Amino acid sequence: MRARTDWNEKNMNLKDAHRIRDTVNSGEISAKEWADAALERIDAVDSDLGVFLTVEPESVRRRAEAVDRAVKGKSLPLAGVPVTVKDNISTRHLRTTCGSKILENYIPPYNATAIDLLEKAGAVVVGKANCDEFAMGSSTENSALRVTRNPYDPERVPGGSSGGSAVAVAAAITPVALGSETGGSVRQPASFCSVLGLKPTYGRVSRYGLVAFASSLDCIAPIANSPKDIALLLSVIAGRDDHDATSAPFEVPDYMLELQQSVRGMKLGVPREFFGEGLDPEVQAIIEAGIRNAESLGCEVQEVSLPHTKYAVSDYYIIAPAEASSNLARYDGVKYGYRSAEHDDLIDMYRKSRSRGFGPEVKRRIMLGTYALSSGYYDAYYGRAMKVRTLIKRDYDKAFEKVDALLSPVSPTPAFKIGEKTSDPLAMYLSDIYTVTANLAGIPALSLPCGFTKQGLPVGLQILTKQFQEGTLLRLAEGYMNAFPVSGPPIKY
């Protein structure tokens, strides 16, 4: 482990991106010192928590030194801020595995647009975080490369698929991180780890360089300890990108300005379908207390209905596997990625490369998706699922005619034990029941810390609003967290 030198003397707190940025821009603390602090923190806790798949310390230091040279005479929005990046986001010359054996040694020749934007703003990527293989999972147990543990209870999962990114922020390794969202993969681990995770509107952030799982659902998403830092990160990565035809051609608002707006008078809806069978009573009590807290801020709360929610998990697990089946067809052992050394002919090479390179959950979803798209079944499954998706979107449109935002649980339970649900895929899929609808509808949603169970496990409150109104989510989150800061047991690391 590195010598701690003046780490404590300078209060090298790795939880606040704004403070780090300000100290680097002012010259009070260098980007190199912050990078060293993050690397020291990795040395101290990563062997126990299992956050990172790739860290190259010397490259991190060189990048930090370049930032120190760049800030002389000017300020940068993310000067010297250490950032953790989920390992399904492409990073030039830095291994990007997607948590899969099939890409275990893949090094991209280009950056994702979000990474280019971060580096232009002065951020320092310190490493690539573990995730469920190809972002398929709700616990980070599906990674082929290592197990990630919850910092509040190392015997429990951190959530998924962005579990490594959420733990990096919760354990104060970096103040912010990038994850990805397809059906709740940032919000659920944020809830399990007591941090904030924002799923942007589909198209708000470029998907260029995000390794595809389900292209009509995927998005890159920020994780942080405060709404202010979420706003800072989103301000940098949001916007139109010519490399991504699905990125929205809309101006990015001033999220920091929106944080300052009052929440008094806002109309908030509580969807009755999110408070039924399967919701843990202790989680329900914490969320209901959170809703009362929001009402006490001067917000008007009313019940609303999202009647097609009961079809959401079934709908998601037709659409997402179908798109995964198509997207993952490219991993055939020919141009890049794992190739079986033992094969009789080309077809045998395809079969063995894919069967040995992909893990059980990825293979399960490829098979489900291939079946849903197969001749004679396309209309009955994928075609019908797309129609139900439209109905789910209409439910939200109708609700947002009455209210500015919705409040709900993020997950029906707190973090479960490692191995508890791996033998029951359906039980694992049902942990996404409150998150998948936002992805199906393409709307933004945010998880913020709401409380802790009697066992000391975090519970997150979900806020959802209409498309491209991320500022509304951040304003509510800022108002709520200022009035009701969550205190709980300290993390164990």
Q: What is the largest CA-CA distance in the chain?
A: 70
Chain position carrying tokens 């973090």: 415
Active-site residue among 86, 199, 228, 352?
86
* Three-state secondary-structure class, residue 100: coil
Q: Give residues with Cβ within 8 angstroms of 439, minimum separation 6.
A: 181, 182, 183, 184, 199, 202, 217, 219, 316
Tokens representing residue 18 in the block: 């704004």
Which residue in 116, 62, 63, 52 sits closest to 85, CA to CA?
Answer: 52
Tokens representing residue 407 in the block: 């409040």
DSSP state of 89: B
Reported in sequence order, the residue ranges of 261-365 that DSSP labels E, i.e. its strands, are: 267-271, 300-304
Active-site residue among 185, 194, 235, 408?
185
Q: What does the angle CA 301 – CA 304 – CA 306 come to, to the nearest 5 degrees?
A: 145
Neighbours of 302 (CB within 10 A): 10
185 is catalytic: yes
180 is catalytic: no
Identity (one letter) of the amino acid at 480? Answer: Y
Active-site residue among 143, 161, 180, 235?
161
**484 dihedral zone (left: phi>0; alpha: psi -120 to 50; beta):** beta
194 is catalytic: no
Please, which residues bridge with residue 447 across strands?
197, 462
Question: What positions carry a catalytic annotation?
Answer: 86, 161, 185
